C-alpha cells in the first residue's frame, strides 16, 4: 500500500505505508492552567486549582501553576513553534477564571487573550480547537457549591455564550468539557484533584451537573451560531476482564458503566444506563436528574472527542481485598491489575490496541458522527544531552504505535478525523507538578527555553508525509 493521501500536494511528502485521510487534523493539545501562568494578569480570578495547589501536600514538590510555561506572555513564540512543527490544528482551553469577572459577569480583558491567540493561530495557518472547561472552576463557584450544585451548570452556559460570541466565527472545533470523569471522580470522589472533596455522592451529582453544563454549553454555542463543530472530550477507555469468568465480566461491565457509558449514554442516547443507576443506588437516588435535563444533554453533536492513554484490566476483588479508595462509586469489589508489559513514567501501561478497540466500540455501539483523538501521549524522564538534543525514542515509539492503532481503526470503519498529541509543551501535570514531562517540546522551567525533542521532529515528518510507516 505505497500510496499517499490524495489531497496532499506538498512537494515535501515521502510515500508512507499508512496514509491518513485527506483533511485529517494533525494537532497537539494543552490546557490553560497547565501552561499559561500569569495567574493574576488582566483580572483573572482564582480557580479551584490555584487554591488546591496552594494547599500543602496536594501537589508533588509543592508546585503550582503560578508561572507554568508562561504561555500567556509567550503565546506568539509558541504559535511559531506550532508552525515549525507543521501542526494543522491546535487544541487549547479557555480559562473560565479569566473570562468571569469577580462576582459574576464577563471580564473582557481575559477574553481578549483568546481572541489574540485565535487570530495568531489562523495567521499561521493552524485551526483553533477550543475547550471551554479543562478543570479550572472559578473558586467563587466552588464556594457556592461547585459541581455538586445544579446552578453551576447554568453559570457555565452563560460563560459559554460569552466565549461563543467572541470566538464563534473562527474556532473550528469546540469541546464543552474535558474529561468530566476526572472532574467528578478525582475532584469530588477521591480528592486527588481540585477541589479535593471526598464523597462518592458528590461525585455522582457532579457527573450529572457537568453533563447538564455541557447541555447548556451546546445550547449557547448553537444560539451564537458558531461555525465550527460542537463536541465534548471524554476520557473514554477500553475495560477488559482479567479472566473469562462471569465475576470478572461483571467487574468489567461495572467499570465500563462508570467510565464510559455514564457519559456516552446520556450524551448520545438521552438516558443513563439502567445498570449504572442500579449499581449506584446505595450512593444516590439520582433525584438530581430533573425533567428535561436529558433532552438538553442529548442535543445532537457534530463530533465526539476522546482522550486515550491506557486500557483497564479488572477482576472481581477477592474477599478481604476490597479497595476503599477507588474513584468509582460502589466499586469496592473491583480490583484493577497492571497490564503486562512496559509502562510510561506515569506507570501507565502502553497498549495501543486499547485505542483501536475504543474507537471501534464507540463506532459500533453509538454510531457517532466524526471522532477525534484529542489527547494521546506519554511522560518520560527526558534528558537534554550535551549537544542540546532530547532523544526521546520511547515517546516517538509510543506516538508511532498509537497512530498506527488509530489507522487500523479508520481502516475498520471508524470515522476518525484528527489526532492531537498530549502535549505541545512540557507542563504542570496536575497533582504530579512539573516532574512529569509530556511535551513534544521540552521546557527549561528556569529559563522558559523551548527545545524541540526528537519526537517533535518525527511528528513533523509524519505530518508532512500525511501518514506514517508501519511500526517495526
| Residues identified as active-site | 179, 375
Q: Which of 47, 64, 178, 396 binds ligand FCB (CB under 6 A)?
A: 178
Does 179 contact ligand FCB by CB under 6 A?
yes
Measured between alpha carbons, how far is residue 440 from residues 66, 72, 79, 282, 312 in Å? 22, 19, 14, 45, 26
In the numeric block, which cell numbers belong to residue 166? 467572541
CA distance 128 to 174: 9
CB 302 within 8 A of CB 370: yes
Per DSSP bridges, beta strands 441-444 and 449-452 are antiparallel
For the CB of residue 130, give the shortest distance to ligand FCB in the complex, in Å: 15
Q: Which of 95, 161, 182, 296 binds ligand FCB (CB under 6 A)?
A: 182
Rg, Å, the chain Cα set: 21
- Using the rule CB under 6 A, give the single segment among 76-84, 175-183, 197-205, 394-402 that binds ligand FCB: 175-183
Question: What are phi and psi for residue 47, nearest 5 degrees?
Answer: -110, 175
For the CB of residue 123, give the shortest distance to ligand FCB in the complex, in Å: 26
Q: Toward ligand FCB, which CB reaches closer, 121 or 182?
A: 182
**Cβ burial 149-162 (10 Å sphere, 16+ → b, else e):** bbebbebbbebbbb
- Using the rule CB under 6 A, give the single segment among 18-26, 43-51, 112-120, 176-184 that binds ligand FCB: 176-184
Q: Toward ligand FCB, which CB reaches closer, 263 or 438?
A: 438
- Using the rule CB under 6 A, give the single segment among 6-14, 178-186, 250-258, 283-291 that binds ligand FCB: 178-186
Q: Which of 375, 382, 392, 394 binds ligand FCB (CB under 6 A)?
A: 375
CB 152 within 8 A of CB 145: yes
Instruction: State the binding string over 223-242 for ligand FCB (x if CB under 6 A, else -).
Output: ------------x-------
Q: Toward ligand FCB, which CB reaches closer, 26 or 438?
A: 438
Instruction: State the binding string over 257-296 for ligand FCB (x if CB under 6 A, else -).
Output: ----------------------------------------
Q: Which of 189, 261, 429, 441 binds ligand FCB (CB under 6 A)?
A: 429
Q: Toward ligand FCB, which CB reaches closer, 345 or 404?
A: 345
Cα torsion 161, 162, 168, 173: sign: negative
Q: Toward ligand FCB, which CB reaches closer, 110 or 187?
A: 187
- Using the rule CB under 6 A, give the single segment among 18-26, 99-107, 177-185, 196-204 that binds ligand FCB: 177-185
For the CB of residue 250, give the shortest distance to ligand FCB in the complex, in Å: 27
Touching ligand FCB, residues 398-427 (CB under 6 A): 422
For the CB of residue 67, give the shortest distance to ligand FCB in the complex, in Å: 18
Q: Toward ligand FCB, which CB reaches closer, 179 or 248?
A: 179
Q: Which of 430, 434, 458, 459 binds ligand FCB (CB under 6 A)?
A: 430
Q: Toward ligand FCB, which CB reaches closer, 231 or 408?
A: 231
Residues 6+ apart with CB under 8 A from 29: 90, 91, 92, 129, 374, 375, 420, 421, 422, 423, 424
Does 315 contact ligand FCB by CB under 6 A?
no
Q: Toward ligand FCB, which CB reaches closer, 107 or 231?
A: 231
Q: Toward ligand FCB, which CB reaches closer, 133 or 422?
A: 422
Q: Which of 4, 18, 31, 117 binds ligand FCB (CB under 6 A)?
A: 31
Does 376 contact ligand FCB by CB under 6 A?
no
Does 394 contact ligand FCB by CB under 6 A?
no
For the CB of residue 82, give the shortest distance to ligand FCB in the complex, in Å: 18
Question: What are phi and psi for residue 104, nearest 5 degrees?
Answer: 115, 175
For the CB of residue 438, give the shortest distance to ligand FCB in the complex, in Å: 6
How many residues lie near ligand FCB (CB under 6 A)? 12
The residues that touch ligand FCB, with contacts defined as CB under 6 A, are 31, 34, 178-179, 182, 235, 307, 375, 422, 429-430, 438
Amino acid at each position: 500500500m505505497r500510496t499517499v493521501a490524495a489531497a496532499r500536494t506538498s512537494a515535501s511528502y515521502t510515500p508512507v505505508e499508512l496514509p491518513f485521510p485527506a483533511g485529517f487534523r494533525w494537532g497537539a493539545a494543552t490546557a490553560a492552567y497547565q501552561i499559561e501562568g500569569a495567574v493574576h494578569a488582566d483580572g483573572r480570578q482564582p480557580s479551584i486549582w490555584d487554591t488546591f495547589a496552594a494547599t500543602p501536600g496536594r501537589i508533588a514538590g509543592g508546585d503550582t501553576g503560578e508561572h507554568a510555561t508562561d504561555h500567556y506572555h509567550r503565546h506568539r513564540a509558541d504559535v511559531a513553534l506550532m508552525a515549525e512543527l507543521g501542526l494543522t490544528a491546535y487544541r487549547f482551553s479557555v480559562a473560565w477564571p479569566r473570562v468571569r469577572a469577580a462576582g459574576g459577569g464577563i471580564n473582557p480583558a481575559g477574553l481578549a487573550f483568546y481572541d489574540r491567540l485565535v487570530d495568531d493561530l489562523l495567521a499561521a495557518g493552524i485551526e483553533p480547537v477550543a475547550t471551554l472547561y479543562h478543570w479550572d472552576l472559578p473558586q467563587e463557584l466552588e464556594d457556592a457549591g461547585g459541581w455538586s450544585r445544579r446552578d453551576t451548570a447554568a453559570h457555565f452556559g452563560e460563560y459559554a455564550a460569552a466565549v461563543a460570541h467572541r470566538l464563534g466565527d473562527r474556532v473550528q472545533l469546540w469541546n464543552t468539557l474535558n474529561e468530566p470523569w476526572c472532574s467528578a471522580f478525582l475532584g469530588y470522589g477521591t480528592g486527588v484533584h481540585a477541589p479535593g472533596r471526598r464523597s462518592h455522592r458528590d461525585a455522582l451529582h457532579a457527573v450529572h451537573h457537568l453533563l447538564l453544563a455541557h447541555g447548556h454549553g451546546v445550547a449557547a454555542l448553537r444560539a451564537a451560531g458558531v461555525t465550527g463543530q460542537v463536541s465534548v472530550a471524554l476520557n473514554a477507555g477500553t475495560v477488559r476482564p482479567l479472566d473469562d469468568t462471569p465475576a470478572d465480566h461483571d467487574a468489567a461491565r461495572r467499570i465500563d458503566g462508570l467510565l464510559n457509558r455514564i457519559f456516552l449514554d446520556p450524551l448520545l442516547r438521552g438516558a443513563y444506563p439502567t445498570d449504572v443507576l442500579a449499581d449506584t443506588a446505595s450512593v444516590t437516588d439520582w433525584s438530581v436528574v430533573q425533567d428535561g435535563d436529558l433532552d438538553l444533554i442529548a442535543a445532537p453533536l457534530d463530533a465526539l472527542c476522546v482522550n486515550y492513554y491506557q486500557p483497564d484490566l479488572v477482576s472481581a476483588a477477592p474477599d478481604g481485598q476490597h479497595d476503599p479508595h477507588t474513584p468509582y462509586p460502589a466499586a469496592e469489589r473491583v480490583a484493577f491489575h497492571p497490564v503486562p508489559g512496559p509502562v510510561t513514567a506515569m506507570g501507565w501501561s502502553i497498549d495501543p490496541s486499547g485505542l483501536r478497540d475504543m474507537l471501534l466500540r464507540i463506532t459500533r455501539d453509538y454510531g457517532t458522527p466524526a471522532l477525534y483523538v484529542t489527547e494521546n501521549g506519554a511522560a518520560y524522564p527526558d534528558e537534554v544531552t550535551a549537544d542540546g538534543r532530547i532523544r526521546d525514542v520511547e515517546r516517538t515509539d509510543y506516538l508511532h504505535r498509537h497512530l498506527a492503532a488509530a489507522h487500523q481503526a479508520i481502516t475498520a470503519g471508524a470515522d476518525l478525523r484528527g489526532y492531537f498529541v498530549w502535549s505541545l509543551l512540557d507542563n504542570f501535570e496536575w497533582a504530579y507538578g512539573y516532574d512529569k514531562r509530556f511535551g513534544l517540546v521540552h521546557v527549561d522551567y528556569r529559563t522558559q527555553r523551548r527545545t524541540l525533542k526528537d519526537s517533535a521532529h518525527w511528528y513533523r515528518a509524519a505530518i508532512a508525509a500525511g501518514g506514517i510507516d508501519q511500526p517495526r
